[in-house]
Structure 1
């Protein structure tokens, strides 16, 4: 169903307590007058106003037959009528005072389920938070609540967003998927879903960067004193401002002694980098782009079934391990920490530093000129430090080649001012950190204006308190830095006020149900339709629901008998969840399977009745709350 686009209204969201300005980035930009903005198009337009490139700072794909919990919400015959939309914010903020949404806000919307799933970074907690907006539909009353974090982390094992590897064949970038979506004639909330692989590639790259935020916070927390954190911050900012990787070994930096001590003690085998990618999955692997595709309900039900090797619930090995003495580790560490500051932030810092010209000195250049009609070619050197080649055209100097200390830098455009040619955008710097403020070619001799302005920034960092047990917070850092540079910055981070997690129901009185609550309640005792809440209700209700779900539950529990990689399905409880930690060490697994088999016997069924039935064709374990709107 496509909701009328004329209903551009704001639906009141009961928050319990009003979302504080110190909330997650979603709460900062999506809640207005204590309401979540609805419909989705209005919400995205509101978010776009915070981005320098507006809607071009968002990337959207449609995934009709994917791996989300919501994929079954529309029913087996309607995957392409009601696909799930995934939206990643990839654009720079409009200013250093605006919230940084890039790589920090991800939305998953399923219109029929009426659910908006949110992954949103929270500076106060120093982590990504998982939210659900229920009843996000026309005529509904959207309600924002904290997601079940334990359940979310069963898939999001990296504490951050995940996405598939190339070629992203589940998405609307797949020509077969795009053709089937187009055949429905739906507009899908007017989302820009017709695109190539460049869009899922951008989302994949965004989740890769987002994966570094929890990594950086762990490193930040490993610093045991303020001096260590100040040095981490200083080297991070210097790397961002100069555009050069930090290569000095961590072990040779005395200020980082507490970090290296922690590293050697806690991670002797290497600092673990989690894996944000899940395998690429091809729902129509046997179909060529020009061939007809069967879209009957039975076929789509089979296609929507996710084998273990593609399941996000399957345990993923680490992506990497950073060794303390590896020569690449310093660059990796400070690159990860550098993700906390946007290009907009760095440019604003550069402008604030440029406001003070007391550190500017002049350096004579050795230049050669060649006139080519209206164009003058320029070739300038500053000893062995700098080599610049470009062409002067009117009021612009186009630098095609810039080499600083033997390292090639990106080309740039410089514009004529009274001081000489000045770089448009990011200010290039020498390896020692001095900024190239201006290049004066005339009158002779040519001169390069250099500013030793990082001394001011170093002093501002040295004056920052950076208390222990506080996460690295972009807004707090920028607030202090800009104050130290007599410039306007964002307000510091306010207190962290988390939303309450939804009630997951009472525990059973029947002792026979205790193992199920012990190992399944984290995910299956809520009022959500997905995953099914078969442990919600009184004992009689739970008995009935477990009996209905027994064929699928028995298949999932039996997967623990097989080694990872050779299973039909991912076992339950999910291997990454806390509730799976001891399931194979005690008697609970045997007890649960025997109890479920007994329940089937009350219906005259045996376990082996379903032994050769494909998992997708087993009786469904579907328990919908009364408020659910499912086809």
Structure 2
């Protein structure tokens, strides 16, 4: 009997050891090592025309930058940023928003059930007008906000450059001076391995689309009240739609490769044919024949230049992870023996604190977004997926506009495409706006291309201004920098400058500041709306509570027009 008991005990011990070994399998290499790795230098056409630099190519900016510049800067709090996206929607609908209390981002230690991470995806295409093209955002704008980290992660498309931009809004908190910077791509692409959005697969247990996750958030927050205007319980359809939008965004990059590498440097006829088919598909997807003569022609044209190893479609879908379910049952108990819970507030407090992130307990390798993922598929010259990807750039309003310009029929438009000069199809990133202007034979305004009135982009890691030698700047830092330093709109960025001397010179050159701070003179007059800071801002209420001498000192810093 003792031998039987001893045998059972040995088997049980062996099972536990085996389970612990499996559960404690090392994860992927540290993120700091992955970020330092020099990527294999690609000689592809697309890599030459769409650089992998931290800052956007000259003369281009992200969709997020354009929206902030055209709406007078960054709203606060985050609920107001969500409201801004709602106002941009033609029907005034909310963007797709979810709560993720226990996620996999760099800032996962700064979120929990009481302070969940908020992820937002814009989901609309604007209407076209006779003089302009509507804003398209589907799959092109994603936000991730962690309140305890005072940081927003931004992933938004750059229409002119043909790539996604990784950005951070740092120091995003009440009374603070936020900084919009471009992140280090080498860090971002350790998880976003295609340079594109990523999200988990069905059934999205990490999100508040699942009732158990939503219930845990409500218990922790001791309320059913929305968090930053996001309902604590969202329909699972929201999680599904968010997933779909990341898939759309992921294929934009693939489409650029198919447009460039799939057709080659001198493949103008290939790109022309791809566009013809894309518009046929966009006009009538149900009646599109993927085996038509035109489709076969595209395959033949692609075969001349298509990369021998094919064009991979990056895997943007992460395996589903169930933080609540993983703690339940015998498996959860075994896992708890080797993997501790993350305590709220530990780990990285911003996206540059990699060493702190690496101290957190690792995820299982198959769940870790740092794990190198195999492509969803590898496309060859016999695939015409570029047609479908190209079609996704056009909105339904675009197709309607093109048909209206051609008597309501597609055939005349296809004839026009055949007659366009080869220069239209020269090797350059595909731009929906540029192509629409060519197809309509007229320039139509678009909100998010012109950068001449924007302030220069800033890369992450550049230290903020430290005031040591010019104490008169401190009041401006407290009450004005939030809107007028680092603002994407050049006209509002008049407190920019790398040094204290530069900033002071820019302030002194802006004579209007004296009047904008002369509350006593202009309050109640027709110029009251010009007074600064804006009456609905935190900075205004703080300056109002300050000593009157503070405002006078700020005015005295700016020379008057009649100084002698």
TM-score range, shorter chain: 0.5 to 0.7
- Seen in structure 2, the aligned counterparts of structure 1 residues 249 and 322 have a Cα distance that, compared at 3 Å, is farther
Identify the residue that residue 470 of structure 1 maps to in structure 2: 428
2:256, 2:381 → 1: CA distance?
Answer: 17
- Seen in structure 2, the aligned counterparts of structure 1 residues 471 and 322 have a Cα distance that, compared at 3 Å, is same
> Quick check: 1:142 aligned with 2:178?
yes
2:395, 2:361 → 1: CA distance?
Answer: 38
Identify the residue that residue 231 of structure 1 maps to in structure 2: 273
Structure 2 counterpart of 1:42, from 73, 80, 95: 80
2:195, 2:268 → 1: CA distance?
Answer: 26
- Seen in structure 2, the aligned counterparts of structure 1 residues 103 and 191 have a Cα distance that, compared at 3 Å, is same
- Seen in structure 2, the aligned counterparts of structure 1 residues 250 and 282 have a Cα distance that, compared at 3 Å, is farther
Structure 1 counterpart of 2:393, from 340, 355, 373: 340
- Seen in structure 2, the aligned counterparts of structure 1 residues 227 and 491 have a Cα distance that, compared at 3 Å, is farther
Identify the residue that residue 127 of structure 2 maps to in structure 1: 94
1:157, 1:19 → 2: CA distance?
Answer: 20
- Seen in structure 2, the aligned counterparts of structure 1 residues 196 and 504 have a Cα distance that, compared at 3 Å, is same
Identify the residue that residue 285 of structure 1 maps to in structure 2: 325
2:296, 2:363 → 1: CA distance?
Answer: 49
Shift of 1:37: 2.4
Shift of 1:483: 2.7
CA RMSD of aligned residues (A): 3.5
| Structure index of larger Rg | 1
Shift of 1:482: 2.1
What SS is found at the alignment partner of 1:318?
coil
Identify the residue that residue 258 of structure 2 maps to in structure 1: 219
1:188, 1:501 → 2: CA distance?
Answer: 30
Identify the residue that residue 437 of structure 2 maps to in structure 1: 479
2:420, 2:208 → 1: CA distance?
Answer: 50
1:18, 1:236 → 2: CA distance?
Answer: 28
2:240, 2:377 → 1: CA distance?
Answer: 21
> Quick check: 1:267 aligned with 2:267?
no
Identify the residue that residue 30 of structure 2 maps to in structure 1: none
What SS is found at the alignment partner of 1:69?
coil
Identify the residue that residue 363 of structure 2 maps to in structure 1: 306
What SS is found at the alignment partner of 1:125?
coil
Q: Describe how 1:9-24 pairs up with structure 2 within 5 A.
A: 22-24=60-62
1:301, 1:18 → 2: CA distance?
Answer: 36
Contact 1:51–1:94 at 8 Å: present in 2 too? no
Shift of 1:255: 6.8
1:258, 1:500 → 2: CA distance?
Answer: 41
Deviations 1:133-160 (A, max 9, x none): 1011111111111011011111011221
Shift of 1:459: 0.9
Q: Describe how 1:536-547 pairs up with structure 2 within 5 A.
A: none
Shift of 1:460: 5.0
Identify the residue that residue 202 of structure 1 maps to in structure 2: 241
1:247, 1:18 → 2: CA distance?
Answer: 36
Q: Describe how 1:245-256 pairs up with structure 2 within 5 A.
A: 245-248=288-291
1:33, 1:335 → 2: CA distance?
Answer: 33
What SS is found at the alignment partner of 2:441?
helix
Identify the residue that residue 227 of structure 2 maps to in structure 1: 188
Identify the residue that residue 200 of structure 2 maps to in structure 1: 164
Contact 1:173–1:197 at 8 Å: present in 2 too? yes
1:122, 1:94 → 2: CA distance?
Answer: 20
Q: Describe how 1:378-527 pairs up with structure 2 within 5 A.
A: 452-459=409-416, 462-463=419-420, 465-466=423-424, 468-483=426-441, 490=446, 493-494=449-450, 499-503=457-461
- Seen in structure 2, the aligned counterparts of structure 1 residues 125 and 19 have a Cα distance that, compared at 3 Å, is closer
Contact 1:130–1:149 at 8 Å: present in 2 too? yes
Q: Unaligned stretches of 5+ in structure 1?
A: 1-16, 357-450, 506-631
- Seen in structure 2, the aligned counterparts of structure 1 residues 149 and 236 have a Cα distance that, compared at 3 Å, is same
Q: Describe how 1:108-147 pairs up with structure 2 within 5 A.
A: 108-147=144-183
Identify the residue that residue 115 of structure 2 maps to in structure 1: 82
What SS is found at the alignment partner of 1:347?
helix
Deviations 1:190-228 (A, max 9, x none): 113422311110011111111110010001112223332
- Seen in structure 2, the aligned counterparts of structure 1 residues 239 and 46 have a Cα distance that, compared at 3 Å, is same
Contact 1:59–1:88 at 8 Å: present in 2 too? yes
Shift of 1:123: 1.3
Deviations 1:443-487 (A, max 9, x none): xxxxxxxx6552145315632632534200011111222236xx9
The number of residues matched between the two structures is: 374
Contact 1:62–1:85 at 8 Å: present in 2 too? yes
Structure 1 counterpart of 2:143, from 87, 98, 107: 107
2:447, 2:300 → 1: CA distance?
Answer: 31
Shift of 1:348: 2.5
Contact 1:230–1:462 at 8 Å: present in 2 too? no
Shift of 1:62: 0.4
What SS is found at the alignment partner of 2:228?
helix
What SS is found at the alignment partner of 1:259?
helix
Identify the residue that residue 546 of structure 2 maps to in structure 1: none
- Seen in structure 2, the aligned counterparts of structure 1 residues 495 and 481 have a Cα distance that, compared at 3 Å, is farther
> Quick check: 1:62 aligned with 2:99?
yes
Contact 2:135–2:447 at 8 Å: present in 1 too? no
- Seen in structure 2, the aligned counterparts of structure 1 residues 280 and 346 have a Cα distance that, compared at 3 Å, is same
What SS is found at the alignment partner of 1:272?
strand
Deviations 1:532-569 (A, max 9, x none): xxxxxxxxxxxxxxxxxxxxxxxxxxxxxxxxxxxxxx
What SS is found at the alignment partner of 1:128?
strand
What SS is found at the alignment partner of 2:107?
helix
Contact 1:229–1:466 at 8 Å: present in 2 too? no
Which protein is richer in strand relative to its size? 1
Q: Unaligned stretches of 5+ in structure 2?
A: 1-54, 345-359, 464-564
